């Protein structure tokens, strides 16, 4: 069965927008955030119109409905990721999820001179929390470099240091290079050789991966997986940290406040069990409900087919724009690799200038360092342009983008 | 002299008239791109933290001074041509004026160029930051 793109696009009202420039929108900034189908928008507005109430402690009807919708949302999301709902802690997104892991697990379990192994292609969200922990605790940070062609990780370098590592933090799929890292091998090495053979913990930043991969936590073997709803048709402002059962007991509470306590006295508190122990304050009720609606919507598709469609568009685009004069395409977009993200740069047209000319044609692409400045330095650039595709993008849009880019280069290059 | 809508220094008025005939955003950006070559340049060797304009996504640097006649002169450059084109237009607006007039020069001229609608918030903010800096430096120069 092939994807019915016309039917898919009909579910996204924003995709029929005409921009102030008079051009129809061609949205190619999906690695930054995906658009939302009307089913998600309706779920959120229905909640606010019919059920809005705070959750968990009240006996009135609305509170019961809101609590049921919110906790049922957790079950839907947990099912999607093949994890027990009690092991899914809602956060504001991937960044907060990684910060939660750093504070609640890292501070409680990593000592001075322990080693965290990161990679040169990490997003800032998987760098800065560990830098802060390293500064506070004297933990050492090490980095897996890129391979010589700057397209993948140098796995030999990873193997040469893995024995001394207590925690491995790795981006599953790069938001810049579009490459999918060999996470199965990384996890295997961490578990068999990490921490002198005792096994290192593994955290995966899966912000990009959730767009096109059906991640199964139960078979991945990672200890922590950080995800965001808005990269998979869900709303902004919600994400989760998925945690292996045996790691939950090693975690201490992070943020204190309402909803995470069992009982509180003036001087002390007893805390709830997971997941609520790690979710202080009024939760992201509407966003969680919207995320569950996004998963319900995505469930009608075969994710492998979606992945094939997205990667196919990226591969075609990377191949074609790579032939244009002055364009360098970063990353690897070969068969079976990568994501929908294609980063590129022209050798004489500044990335920001190019982005304005693309926007003038109706093409929304991202421009900048993509929150990966160390990776930018490694690539020898300060910024790139990035077109990123999703399930609703069409071959015609990709071709129109390629043609427009070619026309801009011919006018300015 | 007080400037405002319909009453701009002649070099800026010419630019406004050129932009009035622009067909679409592509052409508007193309004109900005071309204006970059008319910028009174600050050589890259003088770029430093003190010259940098914050708020621009790209590197943008300006230096303001008085020329021999005591009128205002801003030189600048940027790695993105559209930013440098904006600088060139800002120069047409204020260079050669007494610094006290530059200090009060209204930024509303950008509306008459149709630029604020077609520039991203980052770029627009960057431009406003640049122009605010120009006016502040002019104020200092006017007060000696």
Q: Where are the domains of chain A?
A: 5-30+302-412, 43-298
Fold category of A43-298 in CATH: 3.40.640
pLDDT < 50: residue spans in chain A = none
Nearest-angstrom CA–CA distance, A88 and A376: 33
Q: Cβ B118–A360 below 8 Å, yes or no?
A: yes
**Residue A88: strand, helix, or coil:** strand
Nearest-angstrom CA–CA distance, A144 and A168: 10
Q: Cβ A368–B29 below 8 Å, yes or no?
A: no
Chain A residues inside the 8 Å CB shell of B83: 352
Q: What is the pLDDT of residue A182?
A: 95
The answer for B 7-66 residues in CB contact with A (under 8 A) is 24-26, 28-30, 33, 57-58
Tell whether B5 is covered by a domain: no
Q: Cβ A412–B57 below 8 Å, yes or no?
A: no
Disruptive mutation site among B22, B24, B25 for chain A (greatest number of A CBs within 10 Å): B25
Q: Cβ A356–B29 below 8 Å, yes or no?
A: yes
Nearest-angstrom CA–CA distance, A402 and A344: 12
Distance from CA of A357 to the nearest CA of B (A): 6
Q: Cβ B117–A22 below 8 Å, yes or no?
A: no
Q: What is the pLDDT of residue A337?
A: 72
Nearest-angstrom CA–CA distance, B127 and B116: 10
CA-nearest residue of chain A to B79? A350
Disruptive mutation site among A350, A366, A405, A410 for chain B (greatest number of B CBs within 10 Å): A350
Q: Cβ A352–B117 below 8 Å, yes or no?
A: no
Q: What is the CATH number of the domain that holds B75?
A: 3.90.1010.10
Q: Which of A350, A361, A411 sits opposite B81 (nearest CB)?
A: A350
Nearest-angstrom CA–CA distance, B71 and B65: 8
Q: What is the pLDDT of residue B48?
A: 94
Chain A residues inside the 8 Å CB shell of B123: 352, 356
Tell whether B4 is covered by a domain: no
Q: Which of A367, A383, A411 sits opposite B30 (nearest CB)?
A: A411
CATH 1.25.40.10 matches A5-30+302-412: no
Q: What is the pLDDT of residue B123?
A: 54
Q: Which burial class, exposed, middle or buried, applies to B4 when counting CB atoms under 10 A from its CB (0-12, 13-18, 19+)?
A: exposed
**Contact (CB, 8 A) for A122 and A148:** no
Q: What is the pLDDT of residue A33?
A: 98
Q: What is the pLDDT of residue B56?
A: 67
H or E stretch including A307? helix A303-321
Chain A residues inside the 8 Å CB shell of B33: 353, 412
Q: What is the pLDDT of residue B107?
A: 85
Q: What is the pLDDT of residue B119?
A: 60
Q: What is the pLDDT of residue B117?
A: 58
Structural domains of chain B, count: 1
Closest CA to A233 of A274, A184, A294: A294
Q: Cβ A360–B25 below 8 Å, yes or no?
A: yes
Tokens 């019915």 sit on residue: A4
Q: What is the pLDDT of residue A57?
A: 82
Pairing type for strands A201-205 and A224-228 reads parallel
List, by residue number, the catalytic residues of A.
371
Q: Is the complex ipTM more than 0.85?
A: yes
Disruptive mutation site among B29, B44, B87, B125 for chain A (greatest number of A CBs within 10 Å): B29
Tell whether B63 is covered by a domain: yes
Nearest-angstrom CA–CA distance, B75 and B70: 15
pLDDT < 50: residue spans in chain B = none
Q: Which of B80, B119, B123 sits opposite A350 (nearest CB)?
A: B80
pTM over cut 0.90: yes
CA-nearest residue of chain B to A357? B26
Residue A255 CA: distances (Å) to CA of A157, A249, A261, A290, A403: 36, 16, 11, 24, 50
Going through chain B in order, the beta strands assigned E by DSSP cover: 60-66, 72-78
Chain A residues inside the 8 Å CB shell of B79: 350
Distance from CA of A404 to the nearest CA of B (A): 11
Range of the structural domain that residue B37 is part of: 10-142
Residues 6+ apart with CB under 8 A from A235: A36, A40, A44, A229, A286, A287, A290, A291, A294
Tell whether B50 is covered by a domain: yes
**b/e per residue A60-96 (b: at least 16 CB within 10 A):** eeebebbbebbeebbebbbebbebbbebbbbbbbbbb
Nearest-angstrom CA–CA distance, A95 and A390: 22
B116 touches chain A (CB under 8 A): no
Q: Cβ A360–B82 below 8 Å, yes or no?
A: no
Both tokens assigned to A118: 């990161």
Q: Cβ A361–B26 below 8 Å, yes or no?
A: yes
H or E stretch including B124? helix B121-142
Tell whether B1 is covered by a domain: no
Q: What is the pLDDT of residue B59?
A: 87
Q: What is the pLDDT of residue B118?
A: 54
């Amino acid at each position: 069965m092939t994807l019915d793109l016309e039917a898919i696009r009909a579910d996204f009202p924003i995709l029929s927008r005409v921009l102030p420039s008079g051009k129809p929108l061609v949205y190619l900034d999906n690695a930054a955030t995906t658009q939302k189908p009307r089913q998600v928008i309706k779920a959120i507005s229905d909640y606010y119109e019919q059920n809005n109430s705070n959750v968990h402690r009240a006996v009135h009807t609305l509170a019961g409905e809101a609590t049921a919708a919110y906790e049922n949302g957790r079950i839907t999301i947990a099912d999607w990721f093949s994890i027990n709902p009690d092991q899914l802690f809602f956060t504001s997104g991937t960044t907060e999820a990684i910060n939660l892991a750093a504070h609640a697990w890292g501070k409680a379990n990593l000592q001075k001179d322990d080693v965290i192994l990161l990679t040169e292609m990490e997003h800032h969200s998987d760098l800065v929390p560990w830098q802060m922990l390293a500064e506070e605790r004297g933990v050492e940070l090490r980095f897996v470099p890129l391979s010589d062609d700057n397209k993948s990780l140098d796995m030999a370098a990873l193997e040469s240091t893995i024995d001394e590592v207590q925690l491995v933090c790795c981006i599953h799929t790069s938001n810049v290079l579009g490459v999918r890292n060999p996470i199965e091998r990384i996890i295997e090495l961490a578990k068999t050789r990490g921490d002198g053979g005792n096994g290192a913990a593994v955290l995966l930043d899966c912000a990009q991966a959730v767009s096109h991969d059906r991640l199964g936590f139960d078979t991945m073997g990672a200890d922590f997986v950080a995800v965001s709803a808005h990269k998979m048709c869900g709303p902004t402002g919600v994400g989760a940290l998925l945690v292996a059962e045996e790691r939950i007991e090693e975690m201490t509470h992070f943020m204190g406040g309402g909803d995470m306590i069992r009982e509180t006295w003036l001087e002390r508190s007893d805390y709830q069990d997971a997941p609520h122990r790690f979710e202080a304050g009024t939760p992201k009720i509407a966003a969680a409900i919207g995320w569950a609606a996004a998963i319900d919507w995505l469930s009608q598709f075969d994710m492998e087919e979606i992945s094939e469609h997205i990667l196919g568009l990226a591969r075609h685009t990377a191949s074609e724009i790579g032939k244009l004069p002055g364009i360098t395409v970063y990353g690897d977009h070969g068969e079976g690799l990568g994501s929908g993200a294609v980063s590129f740069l022209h050798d004489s047209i500044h990335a920001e200038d190019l982005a304005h000319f693309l926007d003038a044609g109706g093409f929304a692409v991202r421009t900048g360092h993509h929150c990966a400045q160390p990776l930018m330095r490694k690539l020898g650039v300060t910024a790139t342009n990035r077109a990123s595709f999703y399930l609703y993008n069409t071959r015609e849009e990709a071709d129109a983008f390629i043609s427009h880019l070619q026309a801009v280069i011919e006018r300015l290059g | 002299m007080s400037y405002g809508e319909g009453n701009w220094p002649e070099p800026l008025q010419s630019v406004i008239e050129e932009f009035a005939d622009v067909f679409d955003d592509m052409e508007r950006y193309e004109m900005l791109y071309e204006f970059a070559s008319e910028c009174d340049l600050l050589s890259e060797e003088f770029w430093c933290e003190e010259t940098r304009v914050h708020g621009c996504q790209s590197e943008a640097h300006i230096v303001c001074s008085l020329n021999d006649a005591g009128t205002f002169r801003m030189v600048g450059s940027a790695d993105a041509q559209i930013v440098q084109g904006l600088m060139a237009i800002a120069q047409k607006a204020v260079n050669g004026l007494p610094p006290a007039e530059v200090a009060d020069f209204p930024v509303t001229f950008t509306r008459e160029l149709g630029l604020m609608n077609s520039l991203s918030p980052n770029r627009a903010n960057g431009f406003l930051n640049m122009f605010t800096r120009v006016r502040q430096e002019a104020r200092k120069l006017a007060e000696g």
